[in-house]
């Protein structure tokens, strides 16, 4: 079970980043406009983690009010759009945004787990 604080909880990604990724993936799966039970639960978790509605709505669309989070969601979108390993350029952008190898690997694993 994921921790409800900001620490990476052994995943290389903090709670808000995990929620952002999950919101983006859930929205892509649900389509536009639909507020599925999964999305509603993720929004509840986001509020509990201190995220506001505008930020979570942006996350669902693959953006953020924070540059680092926007870079992560762009990486997630890239992973969804291409098969195989991420390109060196995509990995560099994540690294430049401040994500280390553990965070990058965790983002990749999260996308693969949700995409299956």
Tokens of 49: 């983690």
pLDDT of residue 34: 74
Place of tokens 């540059």: 67
Residues 6+ apart with CB under 8 A from 48: 4
Environment class of residue 72 by beta-carbon count within 10 Å: exposed (0-12), middle (13-18) or buried (19+)?
A: buried
pLDDT in tens, the chain (116 residues): 333 445 444 568 999 999 999 999 999 988 877 778 999 999 999 999 999 999 999 999 999 999 999 999 999 999 999 988 999 999 999 999 999 999 999 999 999 997 66
């Amino acid at each position: 079970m994921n921790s409800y604080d900001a620490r990476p909880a052994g995943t290389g990604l903090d709670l808000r980043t995990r929620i952002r990724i999950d919101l983006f993936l859930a929205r892509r799966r649900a389509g536009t406009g639909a507020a599925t039970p999964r999305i509603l639960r993720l929004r509840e978790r986001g509020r509990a983690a201190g995220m506001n509605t505008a930020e979570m709505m942006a996350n669902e669309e693959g953006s953020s009010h924070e540059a680092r989070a926007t870079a992560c969601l762009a990486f997630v979108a890239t992973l969804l759009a291409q098969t195989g390993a991420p390109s060196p350029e995509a990995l560099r952008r994540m690294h430049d945004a401040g994500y280390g190898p553990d965070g990058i690997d965790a983002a990749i694993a999260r996308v693969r787990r949700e995409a299956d």
